[in-house]
Copies of this chain bind each other. A is one copy, B any other.
Amino acid sequence: MDEFTPTSRTTIKRIPERGTYDRQFVYQVLDEGLVCHIGFAVEGQAYVIPTTYGRVGDKLYIHGSPGSRLIRSLQGDINICVTVTLLDGLVLARSAFHHSMNYRSVVIIGRAYVVEGTEGKQEALQAISEHIVPGRWQHTRKPNSSELNQTLALCLPLAEVSAKTRTGAPVDDEADYDFPVWAGEIPLRLVADPPIDDPRLLPGMKVPDCAKNYTRSPQNKSKQ
């Protein structure tokens, strides 16, 4: 299956030509992103909480403390919405009206379930860790049973999914192309500055490859 099947909740209605259900596109956006925004409703009030995540195939993993409102709410009998947005640039048109942004975003709707069992939980936590800093997990002190008990991992299946994107130059009204102002795009991207050593570093501990020249460039991140 190369595309997710649109449902009534994920059909792109607004500017549908910017919508896509392409599976590889969705994977690339999720794999490049670091933060998702999770929406859930409690008695009609929506809450939107930022958190990190990981992806393995068609599973999106999130984690947190069993005591947090987010995690407690997500375990309930409710559908949630997880959105990942990558901002690629600002689009400066000639008219104020046609100013825009270049972006890629993914919206996932569904019900998260608790990942059961120590092995499953470790797998989920490793997936999140590898998503954020590939290669880091193997060098860390792994979670002990107390830490595992303090952590809940949830899985949201990638089933009801849509994506949107805008790329390229501004699109002005034909009459405005004579309007005498600069127009174009300001590209934006997330960059890493040189790593900062922990003040209590043991002697001889060098910055590892996984932290050196850290990048979220999509070509390195796409998988499956």
Contacts and interface: CB of A to CB of B under 8 A. Distances in A.
A182 to B, nearest CB: 4
A196 interface: yes
A117 interface: no
Contacts of A40: 46
Contacts of A67: 14
Interface residues on A, range: 35 or more
Nearest to A150: B97
Nearest to A14: B68
Point out which of A35, A92, A147 has the most chain B C-beta atoms below 10 A from its C-beta. A92
Contacts of A136: 92, 99
B96 A137 contact: yes
24 contacts: A37-B48, A39-B39, A39-B46, A45-B79, A46-B47, A46-B48, A48-B48, A48-B83, A92-B195, A95-B140, A95-B143, A96-B129, A96-B142, A99-B133, A99-B136, A99-B140, A141-B176, A169-B198, A181-B205, A182-B207, A183-B201, A186-B193, A187-B193, A189-B191
